Amino acid sequence: MVSDVDREQLPAQARRSGFGRVLIAAYAVFALSASARAGVQLATEFGSAPLAYVLSAFAAAVYVVATAALATSGRRGWLVAVTAVLVELVGVLTVGTFTLVDRAAFPDATVWSVYGRGYGFVPLVLPVIGLWWLHRTRPSA
């Protein structure tokens, strides 16, 4: 007999196994690379493109939260992961569009510039895959 607590943990375990591990690893790589990039940019070149560098730091924070939430069990972890991945998707679409419309405002690239072109468009695809995976492993009501 499966208890209600066990039933809630099953999707969380699935979220962290198999493909979920690959997804968490991808988010961890982006969290690390975006954090390093933002840290260097903020420390050494902030005055030349403050908007771009603050957005890089924001993207890094989103990737850190998404990574941690994807690896966290329970309904709350799932909700935080969905929120972080949705923020990521909105961010990459918004920043990607603005970098095409107003290039002068972005003299240097961010992780999300031109929809993540500098990262092989992975920042555009990753949240779509993340949302699909989170939908697939959502906790029962």
Per-residue pLDDT of 92-108, as tens digits, reads: 999 999 999 988 877 77
Asked if residue 85 belongs to a domain, the reply is yes
Residues 9-40: tens digit of each pLDDT:
545 566 666 888 999 999 999 999 999 989 99
Asked if residue 141 belongs to a domain, the reply is no
Burial of 1 (0-12, 13-18, 19+ CB in 10 A): exposed
Asked if residue 92 belongs to a domain, the reply is yes
SS3 77: helix
Q: How many CB atoms lie within 10 A of CB 45?
A: 14
State how many domains the chain has.
1
Domain residues for the domain of 31 are 4-136
